[in-house]
Structure 1
Amino acid sequence: MPDDQLMLAYAGGDTTAFDVLYARHEGGLYRFVRRLLGVRLSAEVDEVFQETWVRIITSRTRFSPQGAAWRTWAFTIAHNLAMDRLRASGREVVVHAHDDDDGAEGDDAGQRLQRNLVGDHGQRIDPAQPAADDIAFWRSAGRRLLDCLGELPADQRAAFLLHHEDGFTVEALAAALDVGFETVRSRLRYGMKKLRVCMDRYLSAEGEGA
């Protein structure tokens, strides 16, 4: 059952429809909030995540599929709440690699890094038989990517996460962030450029060490 229909069913009193929506999007929303807030505001991730779902619940009767797809609508709520926390903190939050000990996060980010950011460096992993050195390299690279991501301005970081991790189209991003199409493209372009520069420095140093 599509998200929009589930939300309409929930608004009509079907609580099991909400359970399905929550199970379907819990992980993606939590990951987005966590990475947007960063390690320095990690203590507030659970609160923002919970507040996002409270807003979804209290706004259930106002949801309209004609306005935006449910997923875009929900991520917009999460984005706005997280950005409010970032602004209230009075500073940009920087994620440091040594602050994030989640190995699974590092591996996952490292795989995306291989596809999107380091094609020119020639490092490849055989997915069937990865060597121990390869696993260590990509785990470290994934953590470094999170570090580089944390150095982006919050608006570029949000656009990058929604587009490259959560699959939002540029059109959906413009709707979710309430900005123009060209503004979204600029944020993505400049964000990717900064990430490439940041990762190039890291990979070059790794190559020299090897």
Structure 2
Amino acid sequence: MGDISVSDDVLMRQFCAGDGKAFQALYARHEKPLYRYLRRVLGVALVAQVDEVFQDTWMRLVDARDSWQQRDGVAFKTWLYTLAHHRAVDILRKSGREVSADEGWLDDDSETAWQLWPASSAEQPEQPEQKAFWRKAGQQLLHCLEGLPAMQRAAFLLHHDDGLSLDEMSQVLNAEFETVKSRLRYALSKLRLCMGAHLQPILEADATS
């Protein structure tokens, strides 16, 4: 991972100045999360394209090293994910998949699907049954993500997996702030309903056992 005290932007400037080790540090820092993002955005049907998009993203970064510079406060990570996301959208479109992000519905009552789920607390060790529940929940979440429209899935992943702010997401997704906010709300609503529908029987079974 290298020296974590050195920011991405400093490393990128060093790479642009000819420091190959700076590129290695950037790659090591972002390799796994970026690959995970592309894998989940493209989904099961396009898993064979993930390696190509991942490698092409880094090649585009290398090609831009002579002209790269920070603009309007855009951080390196935001810029990197913008490159990756635009390449992923190209693949989605070529495959004939829908990439218009604003279709869907919003279920205002979807919060009820979560109310009986066991809390996950960092202050107290989880019981074996809680660990089993959250392991199952994690597996189910991946399944539910597959059911989202691609751009709603991207909004959820960028925010909850990769920690981007709504402003940063607007840059990556090339969309207005309110549009990105709506996509995230749609995604959360659908995921809550999907997760509740699949995991509620587990809770009911535990309650009667």
Same fold (TM over 0.5): yes
Partner of 2:170: 174
Q: Which has the higher contact order (CA 8 A, sep 6+)?
A: 2
Residue identity opposite 1:23 in structure 2: A
How many residues get paired?
A: 188
Partner of 1:83: 89
Give the SS at the match of 1:62: coil
Partner of 1:105: none
Unaligned stretches of 5+ residues in structure 2: 1-5, 100-110
Out of 17, 23, 30, which is 2:22 matched to? 17
- How far apart in 1 are the matches of 2:39 and 2:45? 10
Deviates more, 1:47-56 or 1:81-90: 81-90
Residue identity opposite 2:140 in structure 1: R
More helix by share: 1
Out of 67, 70, 78, which is 1:72 matched to? 78
Unaligned stretches of 5+ residues in structure 1: 94-115
CA displacement at 1:200 relative to structure 2? 1.4
- How far apart in 1 are the matches of 2:113 and 2:84? 30
Residues 1:138 and 2:134 aligned together: yes
Partner of 1:101: none
- How far apart in 2 are the matches of 1:209 and 1:80? 44
Q: Residues 126, 190 of structure 1: CA spacing in aligned structure 2 closer, same or farther, 3 A cutoff?
A: closer
Matches within 5 A, 1:1-210: 1-67=6-72, 68-91=74-97, 119-125=114-120, 129-210=125-206
Deviates more, 1:61-70 or 1:5-14: 61-70
CA displacement at 1:117 relative to structure 2? 9.7
What is the RMSD computed on CA atoms of the aligned residues? 2.2
CA displacement at 1:28 relative to structure 2? 1.1
- How far apart in 2 are the matches of 1:49 and 1:66? 24
Deviates more, 1:150-159 or 1:63-72: 63-72
The percent identity for this pair of structures is 48
Residue identity opposite 2:95 in structure 1: S
Q: TM-score, normalised by structure 1?
A: 0.82
Asked if 2 retains the 8 angstrom alpha-carbon contact of 1:7 and 1:18, the reply is: yes
- How far apart in 1 are the matches of 2:191 and 2:52? 29
Higher CA-based Rg: 2
- How far apart in 2 are the matches of 1:178 and 1:47? 22
Q: Residues 2, 120 of structure 1: CA spacing in aligned structure 2 closer, same or farther, 3 A cutoff?
A: same
Asked if 2 retains the 8 angstrom alpha-carbon contact of 1:117 and 1:199, the reply is: no
